[in-house]
Amino acid sequence: MAESRQPQDESTEQYPVSDRNRVRRRHDRGHYDHATVHQLLDAAALAHVAYVIDGQPFCAPTLFWREESRLYWHGSSASRMLRNLSDGERACLTVTHFDSLVLARSGYNHSADYRSVMAFGCARLLEDSEQKAHALAMMVDRFFPGRTASLRPASAQEIKATAVVWMEIEEASAKIRARGVVDDDEDYALPIYAERIPVRTVIGAPAPCARLRPGVARPESLSRYAAGELLEAALSDAWAQTFAERSIPS
Amino acid sequence: MAESRQPQDESTEQYPVSDRNRVRRRHDRGHYDHATVHQLLDAAALAHVAYVIDGQPFCAPTLFWREESRLYWHGSSASRMLRNLSDGERACLTVTHFDSLVLARSGYNHSADYRSVMAFGCARLLEDSEQKAHALAMMVDRFFPGRTASLRPASAQEIKATAVVWMEIEEASAKIRARGVVDDDEDYALPIYAERIPVRTVIGAPAPCARLRPGVARPESLSRYAAGELLEAALSDAWAQTFAERSIPS
């Protein structure tokens, strides 16, 4: 995992623990400090958001980002999810880094290593035009630092067609398993093969658009997105470049 | 993606389309046929399940697998999710394969390539002891074909402590974007860099347990889980080995 570039006090601040976010099963895997929760969020581009319409739960994948203790995601103003969240519906945004499959000597001890965060709050549409303009820049710059300044400016129609949802994190928990093979003591004597199969999400060779104008080169700011790099390392770095230095401890 | 080994009729059978699963935004990206939906599910180990307790949505990551038109996942009998799902609560299980980040010439056209499935139904605890024994074997064999036969048998206490949830897929939709950079026609003339950054989830070097008995070798059946292989290819193959030949068209 990329090293933390969060302000110092992140390591001691904690999200409140309630019935909602307390890690019950395997509670030794639970973490509530801002540093752990934020680091796992900022190392991801993809989240899954759970929301409810008429009693039916939906689980929708989305690109997202964090700024201080707010989460942001976006989509079309016409989407079902966004229409329903706009008036402050409860939601849960979850990020999971899948680290390995674990093969043990019994079926029961088969497992997986992972790092996940569940964040709870009320999702709302961003209405303030200044905040929306900032968010529309950040939804690009959070992944590709400084890129918005190099782009064709957004049209009024595009701004109107893009809905931005924000959610203040009220409660959050991180859950981490990083133990590999753990068998019952007596099972280690058995002649059974066991292993940890690591899994990682990596960047492939970037493919430039076939219709680039002559002389348009790849910006230096994208250099961390290189073939073979861990996606989470590139994302963590991009987040830190864009936000960390000017982040104000809340 | 691994080629389909599903029975022929999978390509024509469709999940019913309702208000719940119709892909509204970018409806050209929507697919409802069993072949597409099942192939994306069977290429994954990790899903996110949305469920509701007292109006609060939860989004929980879990290992899962499919057998015909049923989805299965498991956990501790003590977990909050499973306690609440046991009496047939509505749920939504989502799988997302994240394929690329897409940098366009405008902020608005920045995007991602992905393949996702949302599956809807009612989640229930598996109570029948014969079905539960089968499921406990499949939760290992689905990932590692034939492995259960090589393991220390499950104890009565382990079987009791493991809850298996199943959900018949009532409705499902797949959503696929695989277009790379798509800009507005007039924007291609701009001197702005644009590219597609591919992302893939790969297997690292398997790490044998440090406490293996002398002479215990890695089984040939694990050979697809090799360093550098795509996780989804290994998972699709394992699924096909375990299920496809004996799958009965429903």
Among chain A residues, CA nearest to B204: A198
* Distance from C-alpha of B73 to C-alpha of B65, rounded to nearest angstrom: 7
Q: How far is CA B212 from CA A105, A198, B223, in A?
A: 10, 18, 18
Question: Both tokens of residue A205?
Answer: 């060779």
Whether the CB of A178 is below 8 Å from some CB of chain B: the reply is no
Please name which of A129, A126, A103, A133 lies closest in space to residue A196, comparing C-alpha atoms.
Answer: A103
Nearest to B46 among A96, A162, A203 (CB): A96
Contacts of A96 in chain B (CB under 8 A): 46, 48, 61
Q: What interhelical angle do B231-243 and B34-42 show, nearest 10?
A: 110
Q: Which residues of A touch B198 (CB under 8 A)?
A: 203-207
Q: Is A27 a residue whose pLDDT tops 80?
A: no
Contact between chains at A212 and B231 (C-beta distance less than 8 A):
no
Is A226's Cβ below 8 Å from some Cβ in B?
Answer: no
Burial readout B172-206 (b: 16 or more C-beta within 10 A, e: otherwise): bbbbbbeebbebeeebbebebbbbbbbbbbbbbeb
Structure tokens at A181: 């093979």
CB A94 within 8 A of CB A118: yes
What does the H/E/C string look like for A156-220?
A: HHHHHHEEEEEEECCEEEEEEECCCCCCCHHHHHCCCCCEEEEEEEEECCCEECCCCCCCCCCCH
In a domain, A145, yes or no: yes
Q: What is the pLDDT of residue B81?
A: 62
Q: How far apart are the first and last CA of chain A?
A: 25
> Which residues in chain B have their CB less than 8 angstroms from residue A49's CB?
59
Q: Tens digits of per-residue pLDDT, A69-110?
A: 999 998 655 566 666 666 688 999 999 999 999 999 999 999
Q: Is B105 on the interface with A (CB under 8 A)?
A: yes
Residue A4 lies in a domain: no
Inter-chain CB pairs, A–B, below 8 Å: 275
- Mean pLDDT in residue range A218-223: 96
The pLDDT assigned to A36 comes to 96
Q: What type of residue is B147?
A: R
Per-residue pLDDT, averaged over A195-216, amounts to 98
The reply to whether B2 falls in a domain is no
pLDDT of A250 reads 43
User: What's chain A's average pLDDT?
Assistant: 90
| Host domain of residue A84 | 23-200
- Enumerate the residues of chain B whose CB falls inside 8 A of the CB of residue A152: 105-106, 187, 190, 192
Q: Which residues of chain B have pLDDT under 50?
A: 1-8, 248-250
Confidence of residue A149 (pLDDT cuts 50, 70, 90): very high
pLDDT at A22: 84
Nearest to A140 among B56, B110, B190 (CB): B110
Number of structural domains in chain B: 1
Spatial distance between the Cα atoms of A47 and A55, rounded to a whole number of angstroms: 22
Residue A146: pLDDT band (50, 70, 90) is very high
* pLDDT for the residue numbered A222: 97
Q: How many Å lie between the alpha carbon of A10 and the closest alpha carbon of chain B?
A: 25
Calpha distance A51→A81 (Å, rounded): 8
Task: Name the residue of chain B whose CA is nearest to A59's CA.
Answer: B50
The pLDDT of A3-23, averaged and rounded, is 72
Q: What is the pLDDT of residue A6?
A: 45
Q: Best interface-test mutation with A: which of B52, B97, B103, B203 has the largest number of A CBs within 10 A?
A: B103
User: Where is average pLDDT lowest: A127-141, A226-240, B89-103, B104-118?
Assistant: A127-141
Q: Which of A78, A129, A105 is nearest to A194 (CA)?
A: A105
Q: What is the CATH number of the domain that holds A90?
A: 2.30.110.10
Q: What is the arithmetic mean of pLDDT over A188-200?
A: 98
Whether residue A109 is contained in a domain is answered as yes
pLDDT > 70? residue A67: yes
Whether chain B has a CB inside 8 Å of the CB on A84: the answer is no
A169 in a structural domain: yes
Minimal C-alpha gap between B181 and chain A (Å)? 6
Write down the pLDDT at residue B77: 57
Residue B147 covered by a domain: yes
pTM of the model: 0.91
Residue A27 lies in a domain: yes
Q: Which residue of A has its CA nearest to B44?
A: A98
Q: What is the pLDDT of residue B34?
A: 95
On whether residue A241 sits in a domain, the answer given is no
Does A112 touch chain B if contact means CB atoms closer than 8 Å? yes
pLDDT at B4: 43
| DSSP code, position A249 | P
